[in-house]
A = this chain, B = another copy of it.
Amino acid sequence: MGRKRTRPDNIRLTEVAELAGVSPITASRFFRNPEALSIGKRVRVESAAKELGYVPNLAARALASQRTEVIGVLIPSFTNNVFSDLLRGIYDAFESSRYSIQLANTRYSILEEEKLLRLFLAQKPAGLIVTGIDQTPESRIIMQSVDCPIVQIMEIGPDPVDMIIGFSHADAAQAAITHLLAQGYRRIGFLGARMDPRVQRRLAGYQAAMKAASLFDSRLMVTTPLPTSVTLGGTLFADLLAKAPDTDAVFCANDDLALGVLFECQRRHIAIPKQMAIVGFNDLEFMASAVPTLTSVRTNRYEMGRNAATMVIETIEGRRPEQPIVDLGFTVIERQSSVREP
A residues with a Cβ closer than 8 A to B are 8, 55, 57-60, 62-63, 66, 68, 78-79, 81, 84-85, 87-88, 91, 100-105, 122-123, 229-231, 233-234, 256, 259-260, 263, 266-267, 285-286, 288-291
Residue of B nearest to A63 (CB): B59
Q: Are B285 and A231 in contact (CB under 8 A)?
A: yes
List chain B residues, Cβ under 8 A from A285. Answer: 229-231
**Chain B residues, CB < 8 A from A288:** 231
Q: Find chain B residues with CB under 8 A from A57 CB.
A: 63
Q: Are A289 and B103 closer than 8 Å at their CB atoms?
A: no
B59 touches A68 (CB 8 A): yes
Closest to A58 in B: B123
State the CA gap A59–B58 with chains docked (Å): 8
Residues of B near A59 (CB, < 8 A) are 58-60, 62-63, 68, 123
| Chain B residues, Cβ within 8 Å of A105 | 88, 91
A16 CB to closest chain B CB (Å) equals: 15
Chain B residues, CB < 8 A from A263: 289-291
Give CA–CA (A266, B294) in the complex, Å.
14
A50 CB to closest chain B CB, in angstroms? 14
CA gap between A102 and B79 in the complex, in Å: 19
Asked whether, in the complex, the Cβ of A78 is within 8 Å of the Cβ of B87, the reply is yes
